[in-house]
Structure 1
Amino acid sequence: MQKYNLPDIQAFLKVVESGSFTRAALQLNASTAAVSRRVSALEGALGTRLLNRTTRQLRLTDAGEQYADDMQHVMMALEEAEYKAQRTSQEVRGNLRLAAPLSFGIERIAPVLPGFLKRHPKLNIDLQLEDRRTDLFAEGIDLAIRIGKLEDSTLIATRIGEISKAYCASPDYLREHGEPRHPSELPTHRLLRYNLITAGDEWGFGGDISQGASLAWQLSANNGEALREAAIRGLGIAILPTFIVMDALRDGRLKEIMCKYTQGLTGIYAVRASRQFTPAKIKLLIQYLREKINRF
């Protein structure tokens, strides 16, 4: 039986998962040329072509498709064997890529990660903070934190906590424009919108998306902290997670309004790729985050 180089197989699978030598190289912390050499070495060892390469796309050959499927099962078996060995010694090691929304990651994830890493000093975490929805498969994300409605049914989600939201505006804005008492008054006001979710999901008032759809926006942005600063400076009314506006509400820079129309609690989820086996390091991190985050 031919002897295979495990890093060559891992490089090939990463190229298949990400769809690109460049993205695979970034995830493996290697050069594109090094990843290409590893795949070529694997093809040489097997005596067959696994990928058809063009300047625009990669396509698996029939042999490559079958080999990738078989090797994914082999890698899962290796991960499970590693988990069983580590479970015996109560030690996890290796790398884990974690993605989270920018504001939530800074405010709530980053402060608690050092405690987890002190428990597991041989584990390395690559934390990616950005408000766009990451592609776990293409970007090699092991675990992602998502807030609100989940859309991708191919992912496994674990609820680890929940957040509340508040309608708020600055005292100066409310003195100048008046304080709305009911959602029906909002079309006459300046509004600030978080544009990475639909208007109906953000301003839907108990599921009535038509209410949210009828509103106009003074400013839309893809980051909650940017909207908070705009609200503090009197630009308009925003609906934002309380962990973002808590300090401004306490010190009076913002005032909460329409409290009885505030939406219910929003779920915080840890999502991972759908696999029969979940590595110990991911299970432990999910459990730790559930303990630390809970409700904000």
Structure 2
Amino acid sequence: MNKLLMMKAFTSVVTEGSFHKAADRMNLSPQLISKYVSQLESDLKTRLLTRTTRKINLTEAGHIYLQRCQQVLLDIEEMENSLTDLQNQVTGTLNISAPMSFGIHHLSAPIAAFQSRYPSVKVQLFLTDQKVDLLEANVDIALRIGHLKNSSLIGRKIAPIRMVTCASPQYLAEYGEPKTAEDLTQHRYLRYSYSEGRELTESWGEHSPFSEQNTQLVSNNGDILINAAIRHQGIAIQPTFLTYNAVARGELVVLEQFPLQMMGLYAVYPNRQFLASKIRHFIDFISGYYGELPYWDKPCDRHPSYTATVER
């Protein structure tokens, strides 16, 4: 039998002065209240109450137990209230994992805006392009780029991620602009190591135009590859959140003839029934921050090729 419920029944009987009034207060039957008190006395092996037809009195043991009961019930109530307050308050430390380049270029502003709205939240941002185990790494939220797959994690899409094939004008002038996938086999490729060719396979099937033979540079960081492309080292496949400034400056040209499958930026978190308020509020905040057309994909009038790509 539930010891906590027995304790509540006992204190209610003493407070209300009768089993019937205690039953009304707890929305239970008088018989059940009496059963709870009797079971409590049986468990304690001592009598707590003396009952007459008109009055209920506490025994000496009952006086001592009542004080302890009231303190225990008060402590439980205060503990539950504090947890409810914690659930409702946006406070504490928020541990976030995010892709390296995206975090450097596009997370400082939203995190600053979030903390301006919720100044009691401390953010610990861990940047890595590798997928971390959220529970093992004590991460509350992970921002991930790709396609959300079935897992034990819950995810919400934050923004669309467009991939583009690009190269510098000087590189294209020297080596020629490829028109077909077959042409790409003759060009130098700047490969992002963590993708392992997924963006190519999803767009061209198993017949990828790039291979180890024409890979010029491999890096686990997109900024390195963008800078190499700007320096005329080859063709890169990178997200528009990294290429948009170089395209706007005319340092890179988007090869429209090689469209790639759309991906997404997702906020993922462990499948928990009750989310802490800091997590829930950050997910709601970041979900509306970038919009359906993020600022890095806004049309650029000076570069029609880029505009055509992002508007598709």
Counterparts of 2:225 and 2:86 in 1: how far apart (Å)? 45
Q: Is the 8 A contact 2:157 2:267 kept in 1?
A: yes
Aligned residues: 215
Which amino acid is the alignment partner of residue 200 of structure 2? W
What secondary structure is seen at the aligned counterpart in 1 of 2:208?
helix
User: Alpha carbon RMSD of aligned pairs, Å?
Assistant: 2.3
Which amino acid is the alignment partner of residue 274 of structure 1? N
Q: Which runs of 5+ in 2 are unaligned?
A: 1-77, 295-312
User: 2:151 maps to which residue?
Assistant: 153
Return the TM-score normalized by structure 1: 0.67
User: 1:208 maps to which residue?
Assistant: 205
Q: Is the 8 A contact 2:154 2:269 kept in 1?
A: yes
What secondary structure is seen at the aligned counterpart in 2 of 1:293?
coil
Counterparts of 2:131 and 2:215 in 1: how far apart (Å)? 22
What secondary structure is seen at the aligned counterpart in 2 of 1:138?
coil
What secondary structure is seen at the aligned counterpart in 1 of 2:215?
coil
Which amino acid is the alignment partner of residue 125 of structure 1? V
- CA apart distance, 1:198: 2.1
After superposition, the Cα gap between the structure-2 partners of 1:162 and 1:139, relative to the gap in structure 1 and judged at 3 Å, is same
Greater Rg over alpha carbons, structure: 2
**Residues 130-139 or 201-210, more deviating:** 201-210
Q: Which runs of 5+ in 1 are unaligned?
A: 1-77
Counterparts of 2:261 and 2:80 in 1: how far apart (Å)? 39
- Structure 1 consecutive aligned stretches of length 4 or more whose deviation exceeds 3 Å: 78-84, 212-216
- CA apart distance, 1:145: 0.2
How do residues 90-105 of structure 1 correspond to structure 2 at under 5 angstroms?
A: 91-105=89-103
How do residues 8-157 of structure 1 correspond to structure 2 at under 5 angstroms?
A: 84-86=84-86, 91-151=89-149, 153-157=151-155
What secondary structure is seen at the aligned counterpart in 2 of 1:261?
coil
After superposition, the Cα gap between the structure-2 partners of 1:271 and 1:189, relative to the gap in structure 1 and judged at 3 Å, is same
After superposition, the Cα gap between the structure-2 partners of 1:187 and 1:142, relative to the gap in structure 1 and judged at 3 Å, is same
Counterparts of 1:275 and 1:243 in 2: how far apart (Å)? 31
Return the TM-score normalized by structure 2: 0.64
- CA apart distance, 1:162: 0.9
2:283 to 275, 281, 286: 286
Question: What percentage of residue pairs aligned between the two structures are identical?
Answer: 36
Which amino acid is the alignment partner of residue 243 of structure 2? V
- CA apart distance, 1:205: 5.4
After superposition, the Cα gap between the structure-2 partners of 1:130 and 1:188, relative to the gap in structure 1 and judged at 3 Å, is same
User: 1:219 maps to which residue?
Assistant: 217
What secondary structure is seen at the aligned counterpart in 2 of 1:188?
coil
After superposition, the Cα gap between the structure-2 partners of 1:185 and 1:87, relative to the gap in structure 1 and judged at 3 Å, is same
1:157-182 residue CA offsets vs partner (Å, 9 max, x unmatched): 11111111211101111111100012
Q: Is the 8 A contact 2:229 2:235 kept in 1?
A: yes
